[in-house]
Copies of this chain bind each other. A is one copy, B any other.
Amino acid sequence: MELHTLTLITIVAEPVLEERLTRRLLELGATGYTVMDIRGRGTRGIRTGDIPGQGIRIETLVTDEVAEAILEEATASWFPHYAVVVWASPARVVRGDKYVEG
């Protein structure tokens, strides 16, 4: 059984960003992602669309380098403008080689 240790990046964001963020994740080197609908509350309380308090939660399993790139872009470009929450945690992944682009 081969397990690779990768980084799991989780992003909570406004629904309007779904298309843009997932596009960027792939551009930065992610090989896939998983999206869920959520509701939530934070300090900014900014939400668009007709129903307040709704958001999305994106998960992507990536290599450490891709993780760095995503976290940097989040800090520099997403965070100042939008209501996003981003965190990283380690994950041991079955067939982790699949998530290395190339």
Q: Which B residues are in CB contact (< 8 Å) with A1?
A: 68, 71-72, 75
Number of interface residues of A (CB under 8 A): 43
Q: Which B residues are in CB contact (< 8 Å) with A34?
A: 12, 38-40, 55, 57, 85
Is B79 touching A86 in the complex (CB atoms < 8 A)? no
The answer, among B35, B87, B95, for a CB contact under 8 Å with A61, is B87
Assembly stoichiometry (copies) = 3
The answer, among B37, B87, B93, for a CB contact under 8 Å with A94, is B87
Which secondary structure dominates chain A's binding surface? strand
Is A75 touching B89 in the complex (CB atoms < 8 A)? no
- Closest Cβ of chain B: how far from A53's Cβ, in Å? 9
Is A87 touching B95 in the complex (CB atoms < 8 A)? no
CB-CB contacts of A25-50 with B at 8 A, as 1s and 0s? 01000011111111111110000000
Q: Which B residues are in CB contact (< 8 Å) with A87?
A: 6, 8, 61, 91-94
A-B contact pairs, 9 of them (CB 8 A): A1-B68, A1-B75, A22-B41, A79-B95, A86-B93, A86-B94, A88-B91, A89-B90, A89-B92
